[in-house]
Amino acid sequence: MARFRTLDDLDVRGKRVLLRADLNVPLKDGVVTDATRIERLAPTIEALIAQGAKVVVMSHFGRPQGRPDPTLSLRPLIAPLAKAIGGRDVAFAADCIGDEAKTVVGALRPGEVALLENLRFHKGEEANSPDFARALAELGDVYVDDAFSAAHRAHASIAALAHLLPAAAGTLMEAELAALTAALEMPTRPVLALVGGAKVSTKLDLLRFIIGKVDTLAIAGAMANTLLFAEGKSVGRSLSERDMADNARRLLALASSRGCRVILPEDAVVAAALEPRSAARSVPIDAVPEDMMILDVGPRTVGLIGAALEEARTLVWNGPLGAFETPPFDRATMEIAKKVAELTQAGKLLSVAGGGDTVAALAAAGVTDQLTYVSTAGGAFLEWLEGRELPGVAALAVGDAP
């Protein structure tokens, strides 16, 4: 991977630092329901404050289609952000560029913090407009990007702006890139990938890339049904993508030609419907009743994946194993989450997980803090697992910068 400048390479004393954050957090009735992204950003702000910088935080929020939308204002984030940095004041500019922003930023003294209104209130942000990037650049002397979870977007505050000012990765971006590099680029082998979720069709690129990288690939969730169907198994009324059978067979052939061992479910938890507390039972995978749905992997498969985890030194995990939001179909996901946590805590496994559902499942299992790294990125994490270059990462590279 390319080298990056970090905060250590920047002299920020007395300077205005434009800090690209991802404050795109879940908000309900004006209240933040999961502050993880804010809490993980705080150390970068604290470090900049400690060095006497004037910190100008900017972020997108939701998808306002390039015009102001009061329901997508960043105002409700002022208080949570202030709380995350020890109760310090956070000034607010009601527009992210122009006179309003200049006045607010101009009033900052070293060690003070301002938050700019939603970047996506301007069309130029998503268009990666050079003019919009220049308008942002007027507000800062240096640029720091701590928004890995938005790094798959070639937007002005992520791509164009990084080339206008001295740029560096913040501590969160650094940690995220270090974890992903340790998991996929320079891993300790054997490497196990555990991929679940609903559809093969949305993860074809990911599976193809992963097959070339890992020693073992365990596939679970409804997407496994598609592979089982392609292998001629009956999956009853289970969610599956029958039109993906050819693709599924090609993936399995690719795995065997690349020497990647594939673990597919050998048994399944089935029920008549996806309903809480439905009557569920485990059956061998070639005995799925025609009128039933596969809603989780069975105990034998949990054992197989558990054994693969014990052999592995590195794990990359994306996607739940079953319909984990609806107990009892959360069992396999919870058991595997706990096993991953145990092995990681015992120093036997480097574990990296990410994606919205996976993060929710790990939180439900109460083990988020016990993995090596849990990424709060959704789309960016997936695109990384597809082997794609992320614009926000490429823009920070030293030397071979675009």
Q: Is 24 in the site for ligand 3PG (CB under 6 A)?
A: yes
Considering the complex, state which of residue 25 and residue 304 has its C-beta at the smaller distance from Mg ion.
Answer: 25
Q: Tell me the per-residue interface mask from 152 to 181 with ligand 3PG, x by CB under 6 A, - otherwise.
A: -x----------------------------
Closest C-alpha among 155, 141, 132 to residue 60: 155
Q: Are strands 27-28 and 31-32 parallel, antiparallel or unpaired?
A: antiparallel
Q: Any idea which residue has 């919870």 for tokens?
A: 334
User: CB under 6 A: which stretch of 147-155, 210-218, 223-231, 277-285 binds ligand 3PG?
Assistant: 147-155
Q: With CB under 5 A, what is the number of residues at the site for Mg ion?
A: 2
Between 133 and 377, whose beta carbon lies closer to Mg ion?
377
State the nearest-atom distance from the C-beta of 75 to ligand 3PG, in Å.
18
Residue 22 binding partner per list Mg ion, ligand 3PG, none, with a CB distance cut-off of 5 to 8 Å that depends on partner kind = ligand 3PG
Q: Which of 38, 90, 150, 200 binds ligand 3PG (CB under 6 A)?
A: 150
Among the residue ranges 198-206, 262-270, 371-379, 393-401, the one whose residues contact Mg ion (CB under 5 A): 371-379
* Smallest separation, CB 377 to ligand 3PG (Å): 7
Q: Which is nearer to Mg ion, 43 or 62 (CB)?
A: 62
The residue nearest ligand 3PG at its CB is: 24
> At a CB cut-off of 8 Å and minimum separation 6, what does 354 contact?
317, 318, 374, 375, 376, 377, 378, 381, 382
Choose the stretch contacting ligand 3PG; rule: CB under 6 A; options: 146-154, 171-179, 247-255, 394-402.
146-154
Q: Is residue 92 a contact partner of residue 114, using CB atoms and an 8 Å limit?
A: yes
CA 156 and chain centroid, separation: 21
Looking at 145-153, 200-208, 327-335, 390-398, which segment touches ligand 3PG (CB under 6 A)?
145-153
150 binds, among Mg ion, ligand 3PG, none (CB under 5 to 8 A by kind): ligand 3PG
- Using CB under 6 A as the binding rule, the residues of this chain from 38 to 77 that contact ligand 3PG are 63
Sheet holding 54-58, edge to edge: 90-93, 113-116, 54-58, 16-20, 142-145, 167-169
CB of 378 to Mg ion, least distance (A): 5
- Binding site partner of 110, from ligand 3PG, Mg ion, none, Cβ cut-off 5-8 A by kind: none
Q: Would you please indicate which residues are annotated as catalytic (active-site) residues?
A: 37, 199, 356, 379
Cα 248 to its chain centre, rounded Å, is 25
Note whether 22 binds ligand 3PG by CB under 6 A. Answer: yes
For Mg ion, the closer CB: 63 or 258: 63
Question: Rounded to the nearest 5 degrees, what angle is found at the Cα of 350, between the Cα atoms of 348 and 351?
Answer: 120
Q: Which of residues 340-399 bind ligand 3PG (CB under 6 A)?
A: 378-379
- Span near Mg ion by CB under 5 A; candidates 195-203, 258-266, 374-382, 385-393: 374-382
From ligand 3PG, Mg ion, none, which one binds at residue 153 (CB under 5 to 8 Å depending on kind)? ligand 3PG
Structure tokens at 366: 């109460």
- Which listed option, Mg ion, ligand 3PG, none, makes contact with residue 189 (CB within 5 to 8 Å by class)? none
Among 51, 73, 149, 314, binds ligand 3PG (CB under 6 A): 149
Decide: residue 28, CB within 10 A, 0-12 exposed, 13-18 middle, 19+ buried: exposed
Residues in touch with ligand 3PG (CB under 6 A): 22, 24, 63, 149-150, 153, 378-379
Residues in touch with Mg ion (CB under 5 A): 378-379
